[in-house]
Amino acid sequence: MSQINAIFERIENITNINGESELIPIVFQHHQSDINNEAKGLFSSLKTFLHNIFNEIDELASCIKNDETVLISVKNQKLLRTCFQFIVSLGISPCLVPGLGISLSKRCTLGALLPPQNLSDDQKYEIIVDCIDFFVRSYTVPVLKNIIVTFHLSDYLAALIQLCFAPLKKPGVYNNYRMTEETYEKLNMDRQKYIQVYEYLVNNCFQPTLMKELLVLQNVCDHTPPAFVKKVIAKELSRRLVVPGGLLSLIRCFIDSYEMDTGIEWKKIDIICKLIATKHGYTNETLYLQNICSQLKQIFIVNNSKYLTTAIACLITLIERYPNSEAVKALTSEVFDSFKFENIISGSHLPGTIILTTQEIDHKIQIFHSCLCLANQEIVYKFLSPNIRVLFLLGMKCSNGDLKRKLNEILLKLLEHISKDEIAPLIKTFLFGNDLRSSGIKVEEYQAGLVLKSSTVTDCFYPMDDALFYFIEIFKESTDRNFVQVVLETCLQIHIDLSIKRKKCQDETLLSQEDDPVLLNDIDKQYINILHLLSVISESSKISNCLKTCPLIVINFVEYFLQHNEENSESQTIALILLNTILPDLNDLSLNVRLKNLVPTLEKIAHAEYNSNRILSKEALSMILGEKIQQGNSAYEKAVSDVFDVLLPTRAHGIIELTKLIDVQDAETISKRHFVFCLFQEQLKDVDSYVYLAAINGIASLALHCAEDVLAVLCREFLNISTQIVDVETSEMQNKIQELRMKVGDIIVKVTKRLGDMCIIHKTLLLNTMLTGCRDEDPLIRASALSNLAEIALALHYKIGSIIYELLLCIGSIIETDKAIECRRAAVMVISSLLKGLGKETLVQLEDNLLPLYRTLNKLYKDINEDDIVRLHAQIALEELNDIVHDFLFSKIDMNKPVSMLNQSKEIIYK
């Protein structure tokens, strides 16, 4: 070990630029009197300096090879990196041709200070050869190899490219230079030697790093790389791509990053797709595509979302570029037909045989999910659509949260892109299992996950109730208006068809014997399920927008159940709700005649004493006939009458009265809550702030009865109030809108507190709304959103989950970048509230974010130029954090010891 220490002492003396080194005066001082003498002196001193370093490190390498247990300290490793930096800065970079290699001025301060060296070409060649020979020797020692690969691989490659592939002049006399036969032969011999070194390096180096460094050398900006450099690098990259694992190395070169995850980087993926779409190497097109498809097949085995997304994008590019390639077709079928219904049922499997294992299902679903974020969606959905039926079976049985989320997203995207003609039979298949019952396949879930099995036709039982609930779950997640409209129209038509079939079946049962048992047949079960689905759809806030834009989709349903099927009270109620929903905004004159035909039926229902739908019928009649709603005896009818009044104060009064009726749990008002909710939504369009706030308060009062719809409307209004801000010109109106938005935010907080523990299921909507409000242009809205965040977190009992990281990132950005002092005060206050609420859970929940948070708070508190209130909140947060850590480290130990008497075991005495 003493020998090692002596070596490092000598190295430190050689590289000490502030000491007695003879190199520094020669490099940094210029003798303008005699340039030739200066060049000779510089070359001699430079060569001596480098060889001194070479000799010491070679001796160190010899010691390491003789004793593999030698350990190099961190300080000495840093000294070695300094030596290699000297070698590159003084020996390699100045000797490279312009445009080859990375400029030293962009990598270190020493490189920027070094003056140009006046060396001849022969001197440069001799120095660079010495340096590369040293690199070759050092590459066999692990410690030195790690320094070369980590910090100077691009320099090593650049020097080898120049020595191996730079064009040589033929023997002869040129301007200021004479190439002799001996020199030419020596250069050629050196070239053959360094080509072997180059081949060893590129074949054994970590391929993603190698590709990255080659791309860096190819795109030098200071000087345009020479033609031979571009040609060599392009050829090498092509060669690296077609070797086994080359495509994965290229993807890792572009995609892998040690920085924070920023999502899919589409520009890089686009570059990769363009690279593989062009044939590389000297093979023909067929062999090249077989090579690339084989590599893509290996990448699809990797369970990495970024790699899978890139591989899918590459496959789509190959499909578009080479549609007739057999290799591309085979890979396309293998990737996209994993759950194709026809392929699965066509396979000959014995009953009980596992068709797809848990691992296969999970991985194939991961591949499908990676397709959803691609730009070319049409071709993706074209290939994924044949899998939709089996995917629905899997989703219906799945209970794993992450896997079920992926399945829901895949199914929803596919359903939203399927044409209207195809979705009707598909919904029937989902809800009633028409084709799936006789498929001979079934899905089972074990503790490990889902399994797709083969079964007999008699053993296949299709759970229609589970299918119904799963379809409702998917429908609620949809935000596409066209899909919602198509589902509603399809379900209404299915309901009519089933009603006709049931009527025929009931007529047939009248001829049966009285002793025959009355059981629910398949049509009755399907009818019940479709009725359940329609009741859920009618309660959704998404339906009101569809009915306003296209009311014709419900007219057939309304006419059938009001005129031809009057005995069905449940369907009659749904029909009247839909009719009252479309009538206020109905402007289609062609429908007036059809609506007039409904008047006799509506009058009959309205005058029926014991019919529960008479109130709905009266409302429909008043809107069809264009009459004012008649004054009723009940408080609800009076309030609704006021809402439809022409005078603005009367309308506002009606809204307030409806709100009071909801608060006192009026039975008639609660039974009509969905109609009242629609009325309140219509009043949100009123430009008068008094009516608007009354409607907002009314919607908030419905929170306990339809919380999901209420919060959706309130959050949408907070982010974008219906009043057109772009048309507002006066500052007074702008201030008015700000005030309205802040009041809506306060109402959201009140609703959240009113929901109590039930608000936990809406935490994603609430927190995302306020986090979006934190990015608003208005500082007052940002401050209000931050304050609301603290209140909502308190109502959630600080059970925020993974959203807390996004919340901390948002708050940190506001503290560092926001110019409004109100926002910064609110941001620090939210941190203080979070720490106080989390308590001991702070250390578990925040984990790696705790140290940056502490540093931010400490910096704010110690900054004497900071706002006093911000410093006060920071002090409170730090004290809270100090108490949490103190309680964790020095938790109190209960010193009471229970002692029980043997003869009286029930009595316990504490001492």
Mean pLDDT of 587-598: 70
Q: In the block, which residue shows the tokens 């190199």?
A: 23
pLDDT of residue 294 exceeding 50, the answer is: yes
Q: In the block, which residue shows the tokens 């130990």?
A: 893
**pLDDT value at residue 677:** 74
Q: How confident is the model at residue 260 (pLDDT cuts 50, 70, 90)?
A: very low
Tokens of 883: 């108490």
Query: What is the Cα–Cα distance from 443 to 11, expressed in whole angstroms?
Result: 70
Output the CA–CA distances (angstroms, integers) from residue 706 to 466, 488, 739, 793, in the order listed.
23, 20, 26, 22
Our measurement of the distance from residue 168's CA atom to the centroid of its chain's CA atoms, rounded to an integer in Å, reads 54
DSSP-assigned beta bridge partners for residue 177: 174
Output the CA–CA distances (angstroms, integers) from residue 298 to 141, 220, 290, 303, 616, in the order listed.
33, 33, 12, 11, 63
Q: Which is more confidently placed, 735 or 825? A: 825
Query: What is the Cα–Cα distance from 557 to 574, expressed in whole angstroms?
Result: 9
Query: What is the Cα–Cα distance from 568 to 506, expressed in whole angstroms?
Result: 13
What confidence tens digit (pLDDT) does each residue in 545-588 have? 677 677 777 777 777 777 766 555 666 777 777 777 777 666 66
DSSP-assigned beta bridge partners for residue 900: 908
Mean pLDDT of the chain: 78
First-last CA distance in the chain: 62
Other CB atoms within 10 Å distance of the CB of residue 812: 16
Range scoring the smallest mean pLDDT among 144-148, 287-291, 609-613, 620-624: 609-613
> What does the DSSP assignment read for 188-215?
HHHHHHHHHHHHHHHHHS-HHHHHHHHH
Query: What is the Cα–Cα distance from 384 to 332, expressed in whole angstroms?
Result: 11
**pLDDT value at residue 786:** 82
What confidence tens digit (pLDDT) does each residue in 21-55 have? 444 444 544 433 344 555 566 778 888 888 889 99
What backbone torsions phi and psi does residue 372 show, to the nearest 5 degrees?
Answer: -65, -25
**pLDDT value at residue 376:** 72
Half-sphere CA count of 465, side-chain side, radius 13 A: 0
**pLDDT value at residue 135:** 92
List CB contacts of 348: < 8 A, sequence separation 6 or more.
none
DSSP-assigned beta bridge partners for residue 174: 177
Give the H/E segment covering residue 76: helix 74-87
What confidence tens digit (pLDDT) does each residue in 440-457 have? 788 888 888 888 888 776
Highest mean pLDDT among 265-269, 305-309, 512-516: 305-309
Residue of 464, 399, 469, 394 whose CA lies nearest to 429:
464
What confidence tens digit (pLDDT) does each residue in 806-865 have? 777 888 888 888 888 888 888 888 888 777 777 766 766 676 777 777 788 888 888 878
Highest mean pLDDT among 356-370, 557-571, 656-670, 883-897: 356-370
Residue of 216, 235, 212, 224 whose CA lies nearest to 165:
235
Torsion of CA 794, 797, 801, 803, to 10 degrees: -10
Q: Which is more confidently placed, 212 or 727? A: 212
Name the H helices within 796-838: 803-817, 821-838
Handedness of CA 449, 454, 460, 462 (dihedral sign): positive
Highest mean pLDDT among 228-237, 453-462, 499-508, 895-904: 228-237
Of all residues in the chain, the percent with pLDDT exceeding 90 is 5
Range scoring the smallest mean pLDDT among 248-252, 684-688, 813-817, 861-865: 684-688
* Residue at 455: amino acid letter: S
**pLDDT value at residue 306:** 84
Residue of 80, 81, 77, 13 whose CA lies nearest to 49:
13
Q: Does the pTM exceed 0.85?
A: no
**pLDDT value at residue 443:** 85
**pLDDT value at residue 116:** 63
Query: What is the Cα–Cα distance from 515 to 233, expressed in whole angstroms?
Result: 90
C-alpha angle 500-502-504 in degrees, rounded to nearest 5: 75
DSSP assignment, residue 899?
E
Range scoring the smallest mean pLDDT among 200-204, 289-293, 816-820: 816-820
Indicate the SS3 state at residue 444: strand
Query: What is the Cα–Cα distance from 487 to 903, expressed in whole angstroms?
Result: 75
pLDDT of residue 112 exceeding 80, the answer is: no
Query: What is the Cα–Cα distance from 843 to 853, expressed in whole angstroms?
Result: 12
Q: In the block, which residue shows the tokens 């209004």?
A: 717
Give the H/E segment covering residue 447: none
pLDDT of residue 605 exceeding 70, the answer is: yes
Handedness of CA 637, 643, 648, 653 (dihedral sign): positive
pLDDT of residue 688 exceeding 50, the answer is: yes
**pLDDT value at residue 264:** 63
Indicate the SS3 state at residue 300: coil
Range scoring the smallest mean pLDDT among 118-127, 293-302, 500-509, 707-716: 500-509
Q: Which is more confidently placed, 291 or 513? A: 291
Residue of 557, 551, 421 whose CA lies nearest to 498:
557
Mean pLDDT of 726-734: 59
pLDDT of residue 97 exceeding 70, the answer is: yes
Mean pLDDT of 610-630: 66
List CB contacts of 827: < 8 A, sequence separation 6 or more.
786, 811, 814, 815, 818
Range scoring the smallest mean pLDDT among 212-221, 405-414, 507-516, 632-641: 507-516
700 burial (CB, 10 Å; 0-12 / 13-18 / 19+) is: buried
Q: How confident is the model at residue 201 (pLDDT cuts 50, 70, 90)?
A: very high
Other CB atoms within 10 Å distance of the CB of residue 118: 13
Q: Which is more confidently placed, 742 or 135? A: 135
Q: How confident is the model at residue 510 (pLDDT cuts 50, 70, 90)?
A: very low
Mean pLDDT of 68-89: 87
pLDDT of residue 74 exceeding 60, the answer is: yes
Q: How confident is the model at residue 728 (pLDDT cuts 50, 70, 90)?
A: very low
β-strands 354-356, 450-454: how paired? antiparallel
